[in-house]
Amino acid sequence: MDAICKCKYIDKKELERTVAEQPDAETIERLSTFFSVFGDGTRLKILYYLSRHELCVADLASLVKMGQSAVSHQLRNLRLNRLVKVRKEGTTSYYSLDDEHVQSIFEVALAHINEVKR
């Protein structure tokens, strides 16, 4: 702790506690990655549809009005971040949500943007 606290209104002891308790680098890294996944309209739409139904790639593509390839890439992203899971049947891949937090995340975020109301 060095150049900190040049300003007034700060209880130095409390600030030291804040620094001591700060999330470690890995936590920050994983948090920002997690939020980045939600920071894209295409992925949000996919997550919304999957929160209602298990769906195959072609149907998702038609629902979000994007090419099959684009959707496939995004599903891969969501899969790697453990937000969706796949079930294969023949050549068809059925995707569904793999995280019970997605719903809560949506709710809090909607609460935010509805209160700010532009």
Partner DNA sequence: TCCTTATATGAATATCTGTTCATATATTAA
Partner DNA sequence: TTAATATATGAACAGATATTCATATAAGGA
Residues in contact with a second copy by CB under 8 A are: 2-7, 9-10, 14-15, 18-19, 22-23, 27-41, 44-45, 48-49, 52-56, 58-59, 62-63, 82, 92, 94, 99, 101, 104-106, 108-113, 115-116
Shortest reach from residue 38's CB to a second copy, in Å: 4
- What mask of x and - would describe binding to DNA in positions 21 to 60, judged by CB under 7 A? ---------------x--xxxxx------------xxx--
Classify residue 37 by burial, with Cβ atoms within 10 Å: 0-12, 13-18, 19+: middle
Instruction: Name which of DNA, a second copy, none residue 73 binds, using a CB cut-off of 5 to 8 Å depending on partner kind.
Output: DNA
CB-based contacts of 81, cutoff 8 Å, min separation 6: 33, 34, 37
Give how far the C-alpha of residue 17 lies from the chain's centroid of Cα atoms, to the nearest Å: 29
Query: Rounded to whole angstroms, how far apart are CA atoms 43 and 46?
Result: 5
